[in-house]
Structure 1
Amino acid sequence: MAIAYLGLGTNMGNKRQNMVTAAALLAERVGDVLALSGFYETEPWGFESENNFLNAAVKLQTSFPPLELLHATQQIEKEMGRTEKSNGAYHDRIIDIDILMYDDVVMQTPELTLPHPLMHQRKFVMEPLGEICKL
């Protein structure tokens, strides 16, 4: 079993419910949710929007290897109504699930880079992550 840290974000619809639903689906399909941070309201990063985000971090114990975990999180995003980025640009989203860290794995593939290469630049990732890394 591995420990993975995931970032959650949403800025559409019932944001609090989106976060709870995503965490519940992760627990149901991917592994044991060991910790869920508090929710942090933040401004959009990388694009303009009138909709602020709600962000959180999840500590998850999983038997899924990294790429299988990625595909499972992408399926949850899709089922919750997430649409793909157009032209690589950021946009409003119902849910975003990012794998931030996976045990001590360091990897870079066309699909996934671990640890997440931009997490240290994002306060909306580091604050909730710091909260649950203490647990």
Structure 2
Amino acid sequence: MYVYFSLGTNLGNKEQNLRLAVQYIEKRIGKVISLSAFYATAPWGFSSDNAFLNAAVCIETMLSPLEVLSESQSIEREMGRIHKSVNGVYSDRVIDVDLLLYDDLILDTPTLKLPHPLMQERAFVMEPLAEIAPDVMHPVLGKTIQELYLGTFT
């Protein structure tokens, strides 16, 4: 199964934070298939003096979607993420690991929604994702990642 994550950080050594997150993901979730460039972006949904560094990564995994979610949340905690965003309230963070896509699975549970319900609204997610997965089809919207990115943000 191919899993796509969005990674973000705006505290500490940002490049190191992203590289460490990728190492943890590879060790605990699966083999890294591709990693985007790192993109400097403004905070989204809140004000901060700290710019973000964002990336997208594709992983091949044998874990179930809920196991992937559990492992990614453990990685966030181990790297120092104290609070998850709740009800649209965002804040500075050492690392954010968001599960975007799990193959073409559509899932809507209280714990996990796939594909990520806000991914297509966020340039900081779509630009790096379009770099590594331009031809991947969004299973709900029926457009490729490249089509969604170009149609919304360019």
On whether the aligned pair clears a TM of 0.5, the verdict is: yes
Partner of 1:102: 102
Counterpart CA distance in 2 for 1:102 and 1:55 is 19
* Equivalent residues in 2 for 1:1-135, closer than 5 Å: 2-85=1-84, 88=87, 89-134=89-134
Comparing 123-132 with 86-95, greater Cα deviation is found at 86-95
TM-score, structure 2 normalization:
0.84
Cα deviation 1:48-67 (Å, max 9, x = unaligned): 10000000000000011101
User: By percentage of residues, which structure has more strand?
Assistant: 1
1:34-89 C-alpha deviation (Å, 9 max, x unpaired): 00000000000011100000000000000111011000000000000001137541
- Aligned residue pairs total 134
- In structure 2, what is the Cα distance between the partners aligned to 1:109 and 1:29? 23
Distance 1:134 1:50 in 2: 31
Secondary structure of the residue that 2:72 maps to in structure 1?
helix
Partners of 2:86 and 2:100 in 1: how far apart? 23
Runs (4+) off by over 2 Å: 85-88
Structure 2, unaligned runs of 5 or more: 136-154
Greater length-normalized contact order (CA 8 Å, ≥ 6 residues apart): 1
SS in 1 for 2:34: strand
1:28 partner SS: helix
Gaps of 5+ in 1: none
Q: What percent identity do the matched residue pairs reach?
A: 54
Distance in 1 between the 2:25 and 2:111 partners?
Answer: 20
| Distance in 2 (alpha carbons) for counterparts of 1:110 and 1:8 | 22
Give the corresponding residue for 2:147. Answer: none
Point out the structure with max Rg over C-alpha.
2
Change (3 A) 1:87 1:66: closer
